[in-house]
Structure 1
Amino acid sequence: MTELRKTHLDRVAICSLLLCCALWGLNQVAAKAGLSEIGPLWQAGLRSSGAALLVWAWAVARGIKLFERDGSLRGGLLAGLLFGLEFACVFVGLQYTSASRMVVFIYLSPFVVALGMPFIAASERLNLRQISGLVLAFAAVAWAFSEGFGQAAANPQQWLGDALGVLAALFWGGTTLTIRASRLSRVSAEKTLLYQLAVSGLGLCVAAALSGEAWPAAWSLRLSGLLLFQTVVVSFASYLLWFWMVRHYPATRLATFTLATPLFGLLAGALLLQEQITLRLILALLALAIGVVLVNQGPQRQAK
């Protein structure tokens, strides 16, 4: 029996999305912190590889079939490639730009999804009110971080990190669209995630070795903790939850809701790095909430 897709975000989806956004905001801080002890490609590759093993063990324990022929191989390989390219851009880019700037550019991805989804599912076409909400939500995020945009760049190669952030957003949006447009939309969330983690983990580790990126001279408790958080909590648990939601809820609205992540990242920076929370941030949070409500007030449609 074909499982019906929901036409709106219910309480389960909203609570799950808020949890994911909070974890992804923390992940930016963890990734940036890890770069002081490990190269970007090794860090990204090891976390994907470790999470792939966890997904495999989870699936075996639950009796979920991962290797049967179901026509998903082509879409899975493409999604894994895009997933790996996304995180290569993020981790390499964090060497040249700040985590705050990086997270802003990454969350251009909802625009990629919003523009691409009508070609995949006509039922997810945005109306004028929803488009206004999308613009308002992104404007809120951009405004929250714009306080530092007028300052001179601390790194002369900051533009490179920013450009890699934009590329990461394109790859993330492309991954979401690939999942919805291919057979991946009809396989288990575990298999969808395993494709991306396994392909990206292998590719990133090979890229690290071929590029001559140095292996950490010593594994401190700090580095181990950062990698465990990124591997177990973010790359395994939160991504498994995310890909399950992509299969069951409107992709455009899910992607738009993730615009909350940069603000969670800023809050994490304030708590962990003692950054100041300004009135601008509070107002941006309010504007973001209004934007998300507008996007999720579209007309009800029959699930297909």
Structure 2
Amino acid sequence: MDAQTLSRRPLDGAAVGLMVVLCAAWGLQQVVIKLTAPLMGAVLQAGVRSAIAALLVFGFAAWRGTPIWQRDGTLGAGLLAGLLFGAEFFCIFVGLGHTTASRMAVFLYTAPIFTAIGLHFAVAGERLRRAQWLGVVLAFCGMVLAFADGMTAASAHGSTLAGDALGVVAGLLWAATTVVVRATPLASAPASKTLLYQLSVSGVLLLAMALMAGQADGVQLNGAVLASLFYQSVLIAFASYLAWFWLLRRYLASRLSVFSFLTPLFGVAFGVVLMQDAVGPRFAVAALLVLAGIVLVNRRS
């Protein structure tokens, strides 16, 4: 077991607080994208976000003197992480054409389960005990319960098998990205360099896909779209992702990943407050299951 793995520790109060803030920000992003998608395609928004954030990360790294161009054996892993990140968004985009957003959220957020399993076998020091595996199961059951009404409604409108399958693939790609970051030389690379790999590669891929899909036509650059791009690029893809990679280098990734279950729950909550979405009473029970799962996964020996 290497020294860097040993230095990564279970979550403390500061890490938990930061993860809750990040999950809330990521959950709000779904509402922001949905509100502005009629004015600017979602994939185009994602590509522009990645491109802007890549420039910000590059400037941040240059300001701090981070060795971006230094040969450190991370090029292959970095390109792979960027491709996985871009492919994940491609699967989400295509999949949403064949299934509902609720079903996509359920299948996409299987990613923490795949992450925990992958890291359990790939990285020393990331072993999960029985109680922690139970926490993963409880958290996932909470997610399924939270979106059960949406899944039932979707089943009445024809087959969603193709979209559901793409959602699972997207979850696998998300998990694979996390495993690549932790199990390759990227684990010891500066967070800004790791993020720059993902943003630059995914930006090129997503912009290309958006152009091929014709999403550049009919874009309305009004105040709402500009505010959305600022939120997504500066606050989310730049600041929040740097914070996420900072956490990955200091805490056990399998514990951090389970907090991803909070993101769609926050998304539903913001939808209720900002968009008057209807949510049944099962949401409260689902939230309790998710919180119980998080407690179990982060339980110390």
TM-score, normalised to structure 2's length? 0.92
Write the distance in 2 (CA, Å) between the matches of 1:271 and 1:134.
Answer: 28
Shift in Å at residue 123 of structure 1? Answer: 2.1
Deviation of 1:92 (Å): 3.7
In the alignment, which residue of structure 2 is the partner of 1:12? 14
What are the ranges of 5 or more consecutive residues in structure 2 without an aligned counterpart?
none
User: 1:162 deviation in Å?
Assistant: 3.0
* Contact map agreement 1:97 1:155 (CA 8 A) in 2: no
Q: Which 10-residue stretch deviates more, 112-121 or 17-26?
A: 112-121
Q: Which moved more, 1:105-114 or 1:203-212?
A: 203-212
Q: 1:202 aligns with which of 199, 204, 207?
A: 204
Distance 1:30 1:159, change over 3 A: farther
Q: Which moved more, 1:178-187 or 1:157-166?
A: 157-166
C-alpha separation between the residues in 2 aligned to 1:155 and 1:58?
A: 48
Match of 1:162 in 2: 164
Q: What SS does the aligned partner of 2:261 have?
A: helix
* Equivalent in the alignment of 1:61: 63
Q: Distance in 2 between matches of 1:11 and 1:193?
A: 25
State the partner residue of 2:173.
171
Q: Who is 1:302 aligned against?
A: none
Q: Hey, what's the Cα distance between the residues in 2 that align with 1:37 and 1:164?
A: 25
- Partner Cα distance (1:152, 1:83) in 2: 27
1:263 aligns with 2:272: no
Structure 1, gaps ≥5 residues long: 300-304
2:115 maps to what in 1?
113
The percentage of counterpart residues that share the same residue type is 45
Q: TM-score, normalised by structure 1?
A: 0.91
Measured after TM superposition, the shift of residue 68 of structure 1 is 1.0
How big is the shift at 1:221?
A: 1.5
Matched length: 299
Q: CA deviation at 1:116?
A: 0.9
Question: What's the counterpart of residue 153 of structure 2?
Answer: 151
Alignment partner for residue 234 of structure 1, among 226, 233, 236? 236
Q: Residues 152 and 188 from structure 1, CA distance in 2 versus in 1: closer, same or farther, beyond 3 angstroms?
A: closer
Quote the Cα distance in structure 1 between the aligned partners of 2:67 and 2:116. 32
In structure 2, what is the Cα distance between the partners aligned to 1:250 and 1:127? 14
Cα deviation for residue 97 of structure 1 reads 4.0
Greater Cα shift, 17-26 or 122-131: 122-131
1:280 deviates by 1.4
After superposition, residues 120-139 of structure 1 pair within 5 angstroms as: 120-139=122-141
CA contact (8 A) 1:127 1:298 kept: no
Name which of structure 1's ranges 187-196 and 35-44 shifts more when overlaid on structure 2. 35-44
Pair 1:53–1:117, CA change in 2 (3 A)? same
The equivalent residue for 1:89 is: 91
